[in-house]
Chains A and B, each alone.
Chain A
Amino acid sequence: MAEGAGEEKKKFSIWDLPDVPVGQLPPHLELQRSRVSCNKDAPIHTESIQYSGAYASMGIDNSSRLDRFSNNFRVEVVRLNEDDMEFDMIGIDAAIANSFRRILIAELPTMAIEKVLIANNTSIIQDEVLAHRLGLVPIRVDPRLFDYLSENDQPNEKNTVVFKLHVQCKRGSPRITVKSDALKWLPNGSELVKETRNATSDSSSKPETYTYFGCSQETIPEFVKNPIIPKYPDIIIAKLGPGQEIELEAHAVKGIGKTHAKWSPVATAWYRMLPEVVLLEDIEDDLAEELKSKCPVNVFDIEDLGKGRRRATVARPRACTLCRECIRGDDWEKRVALRRVKDHFIFTIESTGALPPEVLFTEAVKILEDKCERVITELS
């Protein structure tokens, strides 16, 4: 067989045949390159074929060039609210989409409460539990206006936001629930006075507190319009019985999700590849009804062909969750093919409220660019 084919090749080349498309892969290879086939047991062809010489024997140049990427890349926004968004990215590689997702979760900075100075806590919630809960409360402030606070720095108006919580449940009154709207912003900095050993000399000047604010944060124009408050006013922080009191000061600083999840600006961010449902043969009448009833998300629809015959069509492939119900029985695998498009990603970003989701994505891309630049400067 091989010898016969070799002799034939010397006589004519397969490319001379009129209907073989030159410069394109044959359909089965194109399927392998651009789609993940989800079979009954496991998906196949999942890796992206990136090697530049991969299809060299077919005469195809698989190397990725920037101009080809720029021409093919598209973004389509499906839904955009104040707190979440869903958009499609078409023409991008899985590795880059994954890096955006990872940066969104772990490396975008936010402000969150880190230090809690407790003056009085007679409630049943322990100090450390209270501090942990306060750290997880999302704060509605743009983290780009602040700097990081390192160990050697003093906390000042450029890197700290101070909140105060003072709640008391009087004897004889019913229990109260402390919600996050009880956190009051102190634009002038800490009010708790530090105890210093030599307190005699500086009695005329201001007593030293735990922060060193040069000027009030209220003077910054962004905060005049939007005072800093927790994003959701109804988060329960603690519950107090009669006679119990909580008095504390909380300092919020800038950090990234890698250090602690409280600094993650997204509730979560995820992507999925676009599902593609293909009917390999015409499915008619009873089989069509059966197929339509199998799918839990109503991907299939029935259309009338006239003369009482009905045919199944794929109406909403995007809603498919790939539960594989439609290929579960006997023979169904021959009729329905479930695939995913390898370079079409449906991204969903849910923000916790500090920044709107489209700004979050733009910042994530900027962070990836900064990292590349750092590598380039280190290499030179």
Chain B
Amino acid sequence: MLCSQMVTFCGYSIPHPSEARVNIRVQTTGDPAREVLKEACQNLMLMCRHVRCTFDKAVEDFKARNAVKAMKIDSQDSSGDDSEESE
């Protein structure tokens, strides 16, 4: 939320650690603060989705790369060729 251009002040405080309560203070340059907070939450949600997509793709790529490497090593072992560095 700090990064949004409409926000002049924003902060949070936790009055007591035993009770689950957070006070958030938002001060904006004219727009309603509630909308700014909502927009920040929506941005965070979109960021999370992007993180998830990127992470899943990276894990798939890694697994595919390792599967290929394992197959190459297997074929080298079975055919008994002279050692050749894979990649």
On whether the beta carbons of B42 and A358 are closer than 8 Å, the reply is no
Bound state CA distance, A362 and B59, in angstroms?
A: 11
On whether the beta carbons of A361 and B55 are closer than 8 Å, the reply is yes
Bound state CA distance, A92 and B48, in angstroms?
A: 11
Report if A52-B62 is in contact (Cβ < 8 Å); known contacts: A361-B55, A376-B38: no
Q: Which residues of B contact A (CB under 8 A)?
A: 2-5, 7, 34, 37-38, 41-52, 54-59, 61-63, 66
On whether the beta carbons of A379 and B34 are closer than 8 Å, the reply is yes
User: Can you name the residue of chain A whose Cβ is closest to the Cβ of B20?
Assistant: A258
On whether the beta carbons of A376 and B2 are closer than 8 Å, the reply is no
Q: Which residues of A contact B (CB under 8 A)?
A: 50-53, 62-64, 66, 69-70, 73-77, 80, 87, 89, 92, 96, 358, 361-362, 365-366, 368-369, 372-373, 375-376, 379-380
Interface of B is mostly: helix
Interface pairs (15), CB distance under 8 Å: A52-B5, A66-B46, A73-B50, A75-B57, A77-B61, A80-B59, A80-B66, A89-B51, A358-B56, A361-B55, A368-B44, A372-B44, A372-B48, A379-B38, A379-B41
Which residues does chain A contribute within 8 Å of B44, judged by CB atoms? 96, 368, 372
Report if A50-B3 is in contact (Cβ < 8 Å); known contacts: A372-B45, A375-B41, A376-B42: yes
Extra contacts besides A75-B57, A375-B41 (16): CB < 8 Å: A51-B3, A52-B2, A52-B4, A52-B7, A66-B46, A66-B47, A77-B58, A80-B59, A92-B51, A362-B56, A365-B52, A365-B55, A366-B48, A366-B52, A375-B37, A379-B37
